[in-house]
Amino acid sequence: MSKSQEVEAFGWACRDPSGVLCPFKFSRRVTGDQDVRLKVLYCGICRSDLMMNKNYWGVAMYPTVPGHEIVGVVTEVGKNVQKFKVGDKVGVGCLVGSCRKCESCNNNLENYCPEQMLTDSPPYVDGIIIHGGFSDHMVADEHFVLRWPDNLPLDSGAPLLGAGITMYSPLRYFGLDKPGMHIGVVGLGGHGHLAVKFVKALGGKVTVISTSPEKKERAIKNLGVDSFLVSTDPDQMQIAMGTLDGIIDTVPAVHPLQPLIDLLKTHGKLVMSGGPLEPLDLPMCSLILGRKIVAGTDIGGLKETQEMLDFAAKHNITADVEVIPIDYVNTAMERLEKNDVKYRFVLDIASTLKAA
């Protein structure tokens, strides 16, 4: 692609596995016939940004501009765009491309397409590296752009595009969305606190399961959880055995599954979203004897993500966030690695990102 077919952009990028970000000029493609260009206003910081920056998964392509929880305002649309116009508030989440023809895509599950294109890593079909939302503007095919509900805050709503859909999708798919159900949430962090909010809005009862007893007061007073279990306390876990219809496990580190499976009722479902880098032991007898299920979950397709945003707007669900300037991003990454945030960082891009 020639330089005349590229648009200059500015952001913050990671250049090596040290994970340190610094100012960075790069190019985005021109606005195509099906494309929407947006000025980035806010962008959430996800733990996966940290993991990609430090190449924990072995797939990082440097330099990389992170960010896949992007909220902004449309500045330009291609001639064939039908869903958006200049001035619209929009979001771009974890995906900017897929094959659009496989079984997953045909079932609105672009997130399971084998040719999916993530927002902040691989080259696009035109060969230009896709960079994420830690930048001044973004361009994406309109299919992968989401309508932003009028009453949904832009800053605290941004994490819904990553953490939010990651929690909403399994609740819907695995049938853990029925009023009166008792759902466990393992880990009270960026994902877990949103899982609590969605379960409560769906009419469910929530038990948070954590290794940190100091989180109990905040969980009950601020998030309205119904009960709190310290997973390292065998007496508490024993009393709660067989009481949960389902569990959403958000913990990204290796941890025992047996105590969690024991908390499930017969036919209960343990859904894993944390993605530990090392294998976990799976106790088969506990599954067999209770006809229980251990499953995994990713984000969601575009249709479901839009549904989630509309649901969140209707029920006033947003993330608990700390809004920060872009030049604080490296400190934020250090704090994130130490779990020192309640519960998500969001970058104020529009007000603090200045071109060098």
Q: Categorize the per-residue pLDDT at 123 as very low, low, confident or very high, splitting at 50, 70 and 90.
A: low
Closest-CA residue to 68 (of 50, 84, 55): 50
**Is the pLDDT confidence value at 156 over 80?**
yes
Q: Are strands 205-210 and 227-230 parallel, antiparallel or unpaired?
A: parallel
pLDDT tens-digit map of 73-113: 999 999 999 999 999 999 999 999 999 999 999 999 999 99
CA distance 312 to 315: 5
Give mean pLDDT, residues 251-263.
95
pLDDT of residue 2: 46
pLDDT of residue 126: 65
pLDDT tens-digit map of 273-326: 998 888 899 999 999 999 999 999 999 999 999 999 999 999 999 999 999 999
Average pLDDT, the chain: 94
168: three-class secondary structure by DSSP = helix
Residues 6+ apart with CB under 8 A from 342: 218, 320, 322
Q: What is the pTM of this model?
A: 0.95
Q: Categorize the per-residue pLDDT at 15 as very low, low, confident or very high, splitting at 50, 70 and 90.
A: very high
High-pLDDT (> 70) share of the chain, %: 97
Give mean pLDDT, residues 178-185.
98
pLDDT of residue 1: 44
Q: Which residues pair with 293 in a beta bridge?
A: 269
Handedness of CA 313, 315, 319, 324 (dihedral sign): positive
Instruction: State the Rg of the chain over Cα.
Output: 20
Residues 6+ apart with CB under 8 A from 91: 69, 70, 71, 72, 145, 146, 148, 157, 158, 161, 309
pLDDT of residue 276: 85
Render 37-74 in DSSP notation, one character per residue.
EEEEEEEEE-HHHHHHHTTTTS---SSB-----EEEEE
**Is the pLDDT confidence value at 3 over 90?**
no
- What are the residue ranges of helices labelled H in the chain? 47-53, 103-106, 154-157, 163-173, 192-201, 216-223, 234-239, 258-263, 284-290, 302-314, 329-337, 349-352
pLDDT tens-digit map of 185-239: 999 999 999 999 999 999 999 999 999 999 999 999 999 999 999 999 999 999 9
Q: pLDDT higher for 59 or 22?
A: 22
